[in-house]
Amino acid sequence: MRDMPYRWIEAIQDRRDYIEDQLRPGSPVVGLPYAQGSLLLTVSKSAQKIFEVHDRIALSAIGHPADIERLRMLVTDTASVQAFQSATEDVNLHRLTHYVLAHTFKQAFEAIVGEAYIIKMLLVEIGNGESETQFTHINYDGNVKVQHELAVIAGTAEIENAMQNYLAAEQNGTKHDLADALALALKTWAVGRELSQRFEEAEDNTEVTDEQINETIKTELEDREIEVGVLDSSLSSDTKFRLLTQDEIQAARETN
């Protein structure tokens, strides 16, 4: 009986290693504010990866498609119920992440006799009026990280750190227009995608050149499409979310 805590710790570490192996090849997601709101960007083959949660809240994720869909429906349905039972203004990202999603992730991860969720999720909320943008990163183990200037999710923490460092250096404290923000987010995505294909080497070498970034984008877009969801504060409707069309994405890329 004395060795039970150590067995639990070992089982948790084995579970962590397994989940990260499964997440590593997933297409990264980049979150970035721009002049009129915030965007989420990824690159995918067919299935939609960026979704509206509520009027001013959107999400994307990497991981097992069934887990993503199950948890997406959980948070979307919770937001709808809260808006119906109280008021739309009562629906906020902090409540949804800390009292719904994080608890669900953590409980599944630590219950080693059951199945953990193979997922990382990135949510974004734009403020109303003077409030700033908030990005929330939820790890598969329930850990939550809140950021305001930028956010990414990728297969491993090392890849995420490399992407954030690249994005922070290139962003340089500037809030871009949509076209510039899209271009920067795509390059940051390419950094994560390049590193995710290096496997163990990415932990020791996170250097990615401009040439490698451009080559990764060119290669990946041969059979995949850029997906961009925006929360646009200039929209007159209550719902600020929309997915950019491929024509809009192409037009934005041609301006850079």
Q: What is the CATH number of the domain that holds 83?
A: 3.60.20.10
pLDDT above 90 as % of the chain: 64
Q: Looking at the domain assignment, is residue 17 inside a domain?
A: no
Q: Looking at the domain assignment, is residue 21 inside a domain?
A: no
Q: Looking at the domain assignment, is residue 4 inside a domain?
A: no
| Residue 247, burial from CB neighbour count under 10 angstroms (0-12, 13-18, 19+) | exposed
Q: What is the mean pLDDT of residues 82-108?
A: 88
Q: Looking at the domain assignment, is residue 131 inside a domain?
A: yes
Q: Looking at the domain assignment, is residue 7 inside a domain?
A: no
**Distance (Å, whole) CA 65 – CA 20:** 15
Its pTM stands at 0.92
Q: What is the mean pLDDT of residues 45-59?
A: 92
* CB 54 within 8 Å of CB 83: yes
**Residue 37: domain span:** 27-254
For the ranges 1-5, 42-46, 196-200, the one whose mean pLDDT is highest = 42-46
Q: What is the mean pLDDT of residues 17-23?
A: 92
Quote the number of domains for the chain.
Answer: 1
At 210, is the pLDDT very low, low, confident or very high (cuts 50, 70, 90)? very high
Q: Looking at the domain assignment, is residue 184 inside a domain?
A: yes
Q: Looking at the domain assignment, is residue 113 inside a domain?
A: yes
Residue 59 has φ and ψ, to the nearest 5°, of: -145, 160
Q: What is the mean pLDDT of residues 182-203?
A: 84
Residues 96-106 have pLDDT tens digits of: 999 899 999 99
Q: Looking at the domain assignment, is residue 177 inside a domain?
A: yes
Long-range contacts from 69-73, C-beta under 8 angstroms, 24+ separation: 70/117, 71/101, 71/104, 71/105, 71/117, 71/119, 71/121
